[in-house]
Structure 1
Amino acid sequence: MIPSKRILIVDDEPRSRQGLAKMLEAWSAGRHRIRTADNGYEALRILESEPVHLLLSDIRMPEISGLQLAGSGERVSWPNQPAVILISGYAEFEYAQKAIELGVTRYLLKPVSREKLLDAVERALETEEQRSRLGLIEKVADPQLLTAAVHQLAVSEPVEEALRYMDEHLHLPFTLREVAEQIHLNASYFSVLFKEQMGMTFSEYVTRRRLQKAKEMLLQTRLPIAEIAERAGYQSAKYFSKIFKEYEGTSPGAYRSET
């Protein structure tokens, strides 16, 4: 089931707005939070101040239209980029064409049946969820690790075994020598072999993997930073924050709040 989402309904017609809200509240049964706004300015205030996952808006409204909301240049500063469903009482081609150009998920015509509305909402929320996952992957991705993953396709069996061991024990402190012993290689030879096959040193790989794991926890959990540091294999939260800032250019707390 898709986790709890915020759905914003924007319509200047009270009966239409209330009707849509009533249908979605009955369908949601408390799973999602349904918000309403009776004009574009109020909608923008909500979109700028809290994460909205689905924007359901009438196209034709005074001053700020649904199309303008969907194409707002302010979207980059919103806490979340919502999927968009536009509703119109006008079956005019230029509206639908413009909606498509703006990346609108669905375009519905009034009067909207309950079946069509709920089908569009469910599909739009699935689209938003997939987009959020991709955004998370892009945010935590490390270009150097992606390059290393390509190298990993052709590594020798000892290095492959070492990589498995390291990934399984990232939450624990370990040294190059200890990993070398696990795969029955001389530490000096293993160090040279690892860099040759992975394109980076052992210590850099471990640091980048631990930071990647920490970034995932920062974005996906509300765990305290000290606990995240420990789970990522750092015995000191202060040292973790120092390394994090060196690699990411910001502190763990700022990284989390920027999302």
Structure 2
Amino acid sequence: MSEVARPVGYRAGVPVYHYRSAPETPPVSVLRFDATGGPGHGQRHIHDFPVLMYIERAGQMTLGDPPRPVLDGDAYVLAAGQVVDPTAVNAITAGRAVFFDPTALGEAGPSSSWRSHPLLLPFLHGIPSGLLRLRVPPARQPVWTATIAAIETELADRAVGYRQATLAHLTLLLVDVARLATDVVGDLRRSDEPLLAEVFDVIERRFTEPLSLRDVASNVGVTPGYLTTVVRQRTGRTVLDWITERRMVQARRLLAETGLPVSEIAHRVGIPDAGYFARVFRHSNGMTPRAWRRDAGGTPT
């Protein structure tokens, strides 16, 4: 994986990666790959964030299960939460993978609700191989190449406003993806996505108070066991993982934007025990709340 992704655990022996949420981490990252290696460096992995792979020149590349020839101009939507096996890649002449933090998209909202964002529904396709193949029309292929190159330039220069610029270029790509994947989006709307939307709705409304798996299941009218299975299958994470992540999103925001004491922030995100909050925060973010506030330029307490 790229340096913007960090391992957060294992599922059935397969490493799970999370997009790094840190002040110094860009919201978008581009990884070039060729016949010498690709995303994941040949190892099976799971990522809980969206990844878009664009093939400029395919060579003798094959992908999918069963493997199928890849054509110049193919785009692959890598599903969040699915096991991806890049060993199916035989030879790539030129391609790039675009990693991004979905919470950075203005309309996507907090981490627990990005999956209801209309431009990100294709990344929940649920295909067993984890790969949704899209054909970029020949007339659009130069636009894709130029747009990804523009993101790379912004990331390399890091001039004023580069974060906004990279997200603007990314949005153009996602609009194309959504248009190319119209049928897939329709299938998702007709599947169990309404249940997930309800789950994330409950988390959004109640993450500032004590909230358990049983509470969420009761609110959406299903059993805890059934809800656990559906959420894990569709997202690769548990309900409690999503509750924690939503709380961490708010905690990071309060640390960076306010001078509230850490104990007060803990209380505001539904974790009244400040010591426990600090442990959860460090596990989720790789640093203490005070270190995060310092690096984000927030007001020390």
Superposition TM-score tier, normalisation by shorter sequence: 0.3 to 0.5
Q: Taking structure 1 as the reference length, what is the TM-score of the superposition? A: 0.42
- TM-score scaled by structure 2? 0.36
Structure in which a larger fraction of residues adopt helix: 1
> Which of the two has higher C-alpha Rg?
1
Q: Compare the two structures and name the one with the higher strand fraction.
A: 2
Q: Which has the higher contact order (CA 8 A, sep 6+)?
A: 2
